[in-house]
A and B are shown apart, each in its own frame.
Chain A
Amino acid sequence: MKKTKKFSWVLSILVVALFVTACGGNTGSNSNNQSSEGSSNSAEKVTLKFYHWIGQEAGPVVKEINDKFTEKYPHITIEFESAPTDQFETVIKTRLASGDAPDLFGVFPGTKKDPFVEANYLMDLSDQEWVSRLYDSSQSVASYDGKVYALPIDSNVLGVVYNKQIFAELGLEVPTNWDEFLAVSEKIKAANITPIAIGNKDLWITQLIPYAMAPTAIYQENISFDEQMSKGQATFTGSPWKQMMTDYLALDQKGYFNKGVLGTTYDQTVQLIASEKAAMTLNGNWVLSLIKQANPDMDLGMFPLPYNMEGQDAWVASSVGAMTAISATTSHPEEAKLYLDFWASPEILGLYAQERKVFSPLDGVDVDLDPSAKEMEPYIAKGSYNFLDQKWPIGVQDVMMSEIQQVFATGTEESIDNMLAKMDAAYTEANK
């Protein structure tokens, strides 16, 4: 009996020990990078942890960039980790709050990054060389209180992606004002093809059409609308928003959207376009590569949503989509800055933009754009404005997206008034 008792003790201690190590988590081992000899490196080996959401679509090109970086700076290795956007948002907040900040991580452009700055999680990068090469609009969404806190790595534009072949077969021309747009949709509907594929089941899709309308409807005439709102001098209620939402809803009620727009997802709309069951969709240039992956032979074009009257210009919604920041508490600030410098170089940023089919937020970068996306370039030059949430206090965007779904569910004018009232309430509440 004594022997088994001793054995039981040993066994139970082993079990506890096993549990403790298993739950201890990963102690990152950075001593596994004893790479090839050759040059005598007096610099200590450094591993930078890089956490972002771009890996989903840009995984291969990020790996290429990281490999090129290590070629240039052999003593620095990059450990890249990615997660889908929603998951990334919650995880990064938890990691920062618990003191487990990665050296480099993704941040959202505009006001969404402000809580991070206010909590002192981001390093001030205003003195970096690439800041002077940023376009004004890119710099403004990366700044807080006049200081730059992140490197924007892409710039995107919203527009109508369309199937050129269907247009040619039906003898249609690219519409240049709202009436022409409605007429084109009517003709496509008559040919038993879905005119516009929209996936409003996914919350982030609901905001795209208002974002595409607003620059033409509001900011072209009054570019300081957002400043006025933040001072309490303007509200959503009583602004062109009501007309925008009415016209948005009308597209569905006229049958120009796919049936069951609230039950359709982003992925399903990509399928609809790729399988040529729908002729147009409204989205950002990032959708082009997805559609072409599904159907490489498609002839796609892109034009700005012509929410203008005849004779007026259409402004486009154009914004930075992703930025990278350095943790204020990193133990390798110099190496992290080297990494961002590397990304911001014309050669590397050009490579990234080309692979991702996005525009560059920095001046002087030659991007051999996808020809369909290139069609939007002249319009961006004419006039553009940010994606609206980048200037709003936190929470307004979530209310807007949920309320748009509500508007489409009920389809009444009252629901639109309700939506604008709730957005105003959320704005005032968060702006306090």
Chain B
Amino acid sequence: MTGWRKIDFAFVAPALIIFVVFLVYPVISSFYYSFTDWNGLNPTISMVGVDNYKKLSQDSQVWNALWNTLTFAFFVTIFQNVISLMLAVLLDHVGRAYRVLRVLFLIPTLISALAIGFIWSYMYGPISGVINTLLELVGLQSWTQDWLGDTKWSMTSIIFTNIWQWVGFSLIIYLAGLQGVSSELKEAADIDGAGAWKKFVHITFPLIAPAFTINIIMTMIGSLKVFDIIYVMTKGGPGDATTSIAILLYKQAFNFNQMGYGTAIAVVLFAIILILSLVLITYLRRREVQS
């Protein structure tokens, strides 16, 4: 069935309309507003050219938020993929039990970031939180920390919660990829005397390259945009220790009544994600073709 029949447009229309109205139009108007000094309230706006962009390149808050965001994205992408890949390999070997286990791992991804953030905030509480209480019960008092209030630990705690939530998602993609690896190849390697690690590196991993690409790209893009989990757990605090770019632009736009400046920061974030994604996709796709 090639070519578009008139009926096809009718089916696509609802989703297309929503997509254009709620996604394309706001993104394009963001570009427009980033060149203004709109405060989000006044009906009158004036253009200020590239002033907002000049301002943000010298704003130490922006650089700090950029550093926080890149740190978050780096650790989440690496650890989430390593852990979910290891889990996928393990689950591949437990026979039929994997069906139940993968559902269990998937459950956190179905819960809203708001609920997850609240639950973990309470667990991380310095006085009555579950984690510190358990540590004290087993006599490890000295290991208790103010997990979200101590700047040494706040980002780490949020990274941990985020990975905990999304590991299941990467897991099912890796599992699907692993199940496409024919067992004949692995048996052939066994006959040749290859150990488990060698089998993984030379056979399994190259063959799940597509799953790897998808997971890396998705975790990277998602973690660069991070807002809700951080906002719920620390609102970007203490101070600006956990403020990501998304949180910074939200605060600038809504708390400081600087909608123009906030959208400029949003455009910069968009550009960063776009460039990183293109670079990564090109590199990973080439890897896929090679294997």
- A-side residues, CB < 8 A to B, are 5, 8-9, 12-13, 15-16, 19, 23, 89-90, 93, 96-97, 115-116, 118-119, 121, 200-201, 203, 258-265, 268, 271-272, 394-395, 398, 402-403, 405-406, 408-410
Contacts and interface: CB of A to CB of B under 8 A. Distances in A.
Given A115-B257, A260-B127, A272-B127, A398 B251 contact: yes
A406 B60 CA distance: 15
Contact of A201 (B14, B18, B234, B257): B234
B255 interface: yes
A262 B256 contact: no
Contacts of A394: 256-257
Nearest to A115: B41
Nearest to A8: B7
Contacts of A398: 251, 255-256
B125 A264 contact: yes
Interface string B43-64: 1000000000000000000000
Given A259-B126, A262-B238, A263-B125, A12 B7 contact: yes
Given A264-B149, A403-B239, A97 B41 contact: yes
A9 B7 contact: yes
Contact of B254 (A89, A116, A258, A265): A89
A262 B127 contact: no
B235 A203 contact: yes
12 contacts: A15-B11, A19-B17, A90-B254, A118-B42, A260-B125, A260-B149, A263-B147, A263-B148, A263-B149, A264-B125, A268-B128, A406-B239
A96 B41 contact: yes
Interface of B: 7, 10-11, 13-14, 17-18, 39-43, 121, 124-128, 146-151, 234-235, 237-241, 251, 254-257
A28 to B, nearest CB: 22
A260 B128 contact: no
A408 B256 contact: no
A13 B10 contact: yes
A119 B42 contact: yes
B198 to A, nearest CB: 46
A405 B150 CA distance: 10
Contacts of A271: 128
B14 A19 contact: yes
A262 B146 contact: yes
B151 A409 contact: yes
Nearest to A89: B254
A5 B128 CA distance: 64
Q: Which of A9, A89, A406, A409 has the most CB of B within 10 A?
A: A409
A271 B122 CA distance: 13
A258 B257 contact: no
A9 B10 contact: yes
A203 B17 CA distance: 40
Q: Which 3 A-B pairs have the closest CB atoms?
A: A260-B126, A263-B149, A262-B149
A406 B238 contact: yes
Contact of A16 (B14, B124, B234, B257): B14
Contact of A23 (B18, B39, B40, B237): B18
Given A12-B10, A97-B43, A268-B128, A201 B254 contact: no
Contacts of A403: 239
A284 to B, nearest CB: 21
Contacts of B237: 201, 203, 262, 402, 405
Given A395-B257, A403-B239, 10 more contacts: A15-B11, A93-B40, A93-B254, A97-B43, A115-B42, A260-B149, A264-B149, A268-B127, A268-B128, A402-B240
B179 to A, nearest CB: 36
A13 B256 CA distance: 45
Contacts of B235: 203
B149 A119 contact: no
Contacts of A395: 255-257
A14 to B, nearest CB: 10
Contact of B18 (A19, A90, A97, A262): A19
B128 to A, nearest CB: 7
A265 B251 CA distance: 20
Given A12-B13, A19-B18, A203-B235, A263 B124 contact: yes
